[in-house]
Amino acid sequence: MHRFDRKSKRLSWKILSYALQRIRRDYPLDRGRTPDELRQAAGVTITPTGIGGKRALQLWRDVLAPTCITVDHPRFLAYVPSAPTEAAGLFDVAVSAANVYAGSWQEGSGAVFAENEALRWLADVAGFSATAGGVFVSGGTAGNLSALIAARWNWRHHANGAYDNVRGVIIASRGTHSSIVQSARAMDADVIWVDTDPCGRMTGVATQFVIDTLSEHDKLRVFAIVATGGTTNVGVVDDLSGVGDCARNLNTWFHVDAAYGGAGLIAPSVRHLFNGIEHADSYIVDPHKWLFAPFDCCALLYANPQIARAAHTQHAEYLDSLHQDDAWNPSDYAHHLSRRARGLPFWFSLATYGTNEYQRSVEVTLDVTRAAARQISAHPDLELVMFPELSIVIFRRIGWSADQYYAWSDKVLNDGVAFVTPTTWQNEIMLRLCIVNPLTCAQDIATVLGTLK
Ligand SMILES: *Cc1c(COP(=O)(O)O)cnc(C)c1O
SS3 category, 47? coil
Ligand 1 within 6 A of 183 CB? Answer: no
**Sequence-ordered list of residues with C-beta below 8 angstroms from that of 308, at least 6 positions apart, any chain:** 134, 146, 147, 150, 282, 302, 332, 333, 334
Divide the 453 residues of the chain into consecutive groups of 10 and give the mean pLDDT of each group.
Answer: 84 94 92 97 97 96 97 98 97 97 97 98 98 98 98 97 97 97 98 97 98 98 98 98 98 98 98 98 98 98 98 86 83 98 98 98 98 98 98 98 98 98 97 98 98 94
**Sequence-ordered list of residues with C-beta below 8 angstroms from that of 5, at least 6 positions apart, any chain:** none
> Distance, CA 143 to ligand 1 centroid (Å)?
9
- Distances from the Cα of 246 to the Cα of 249, 256, 275, 372, angstroms: 5, 13, 15, 36
Report pLDDT for 325: 76
Phi and psi for 302 in degrees, rounded to 5? -120, 140
Q: Does 355-449 carry CATH code 3.90.1150.10?
A: yes
Q: How far apart (Å, rounded) are the C-alpha atoms in residues 40 and 400?
A: 37
> Distance, CA 193 to ligand 1 centroid (Å)?
19
Ligand 1 within 6 A of 177 CB? Answer: yes
Report pLDDT for 20: 94
Supply the angle between the helices 204-213 and 240-249 in degrees, to the nearest 10.
Answer: 30
> Distance, CA 237 to ligand 1 centroid (Å)?
14
> Distance, CA 21 to ligand 1 centroid (Å)?
29
Nearest to 330 by CA among 145, 140, 106: 106
Report pLDDT for 320: 75
Ligand 1 within 6 A of 228 CB? Answer: yes
- Strand 392-397 relative to strand 382-384: parallel, antiparallel, unpaired? antiparallel
Ligand 1 within 6 A of 260 CB? Answer: yes
Q: Ligand 1, residues 170, 183, 236, 257: which to mutate, most atoms within 8 A of Cβ?
A: 257
Give the pTM.
0.97
Ligand 1 within 6 A of 285 CB? Answer: no
What is the chain's alpha carbon radius of gyration, rounded to the nearest angstrom? 23
Q: Ligand 1, residues 79, 286, 295, 432: which to mutate, most atoms within 8 A of Cβ?
A: 286
Report pLDDT for 25: 85
Cis peptide before 296, with omega less than 30 degrees from 0?
A: yes
Provide DSSP, 15-31.
HHHHHHHHHHS------
Report pLDDT for 106: 95
Atom of ligand 1 nearest to the CA of 140: 5
Q: Ligand 1, residues 145, 148, 177, 256: which to mutate, most atoms within 8 A of Cβ?
A: 177
Report pLDDT for 317: 79
Q: Does 93-353 carry CATH code 3.40.47.10?
A: no
> Distance, CA 285 to ligand 1 centroid (Å)?
8
* Domain regions of the chain by residue span: 93-353, 355-449
> Distance, CA 88 to ligand 1 centroid (Å)?
20
